[in-house]
A and B are shown apart, each in its own frame.
Chain A
């Protein structure tokens, strides 16, 4: 069966420090991968999505970047965190195609202080 791993669960980082969040998927090949951010009590904002290795689409200009070095690995990064980068980050995958549904990781709560 397919599983998605996202870590860490919580992270507290100082302003100006780098960031690396990792997400891996098991049990499927060539998934579509997504990074979403959720502000407290709000909906999800799509940050990046990828339909294949090295293929990254950015939805919102910001202080973050994403990479997909392997088929089932998706990394969210920042060189220098801002206070506004705080939030709940969710990784998700889908098989693509019509009627695709997303499978989410357990999320990372990032606090930038």
Chain B
């Protein structure tokens, strides 16, 4: 069964705006990761946040984690057309030797 659920399923914004995607999960985790996938390609790791961390930054990316609500958000600031892709959250449920992915958010940045 899927562990992570992203919201919204699709998001379309204008270039320069900020994009926020959310992820909810069900069980306790060690960490949560965000990946990006361009159409027809493999996934690329963006950022990892540990369960004892609340916020993390990487360039234009900002990730938050709320373990009490079992949720995370990915913020992309000053979006660019090249940010158009699908974004997935992935969790490693405690005790599991695997990552479980959500359904993804399809982000479209309009020039």
A-side interface residues toward B, CB under 8 Å? 6, 32, 34, 36, 41-44, 46, 49, 51, 57, 59, 88, 90, 92, 96, 98-107, 109
Chain B: residues with Cβ within 8 Å of the partner, total of 25
| CB atoms of B31 and A99 under 8 A apart | yes
Chain B residues with CB under 8 A of A41: 106
B98 touches A49 (CB 8 A): yes
What are 23 contact pairs spanning A and B, CB under 8 A?
Answer: A34-B98, A42-B104, A43-B103, A46-B98, A51-B97, A57-B97, A88-B40, A92-B42, A92-B43, A96-B97, A98-B31, A100-B92, A101-B48, A102-B35, A102-B45, A102-B90, A102-B99, A104-B44, A105-B42, A106-B41, A106-B42, A107-B42, A109-B40
B33 on interface, CB distance cutoff 8 Å: yes
- Contacts A43-B102, A90-B43, A109-B40 aside, 14 further interface pairs with beta carbons under 8 A come to A34-B98, A42-B103, A43-B103, A43-B104, A44-B43, A46-B101, A49-B97, A92-B43, A98-B30, A102-B43, A102-B45, A102-B90, A103-B45, A107-B41
A105 to B42, CA, bound (A): 6
Q: Give the number of A-B contacts (CB < 8 Å).
A: 57
Please give the residue numbers on chain B whose beta carbons come within 8 Å of chain A beta carbons, in ascending order: 2, 30-31, 33, 35, 40-45, 48, 50, 88, 90, 92, 97-104, 106
Is the CB–CB distance between A44 and B101 below 8 Å? yes
- State the Cβ distance, B101 to closest chain A Cβ, in Å: 4
Q: Is the CB of B33 within 8 A of A101?
A: yes
Q: Which of A43, A49, A105 contacts B88 (CB 8 A)?
A: A43
A2 to B55, CA, bound (A): 29
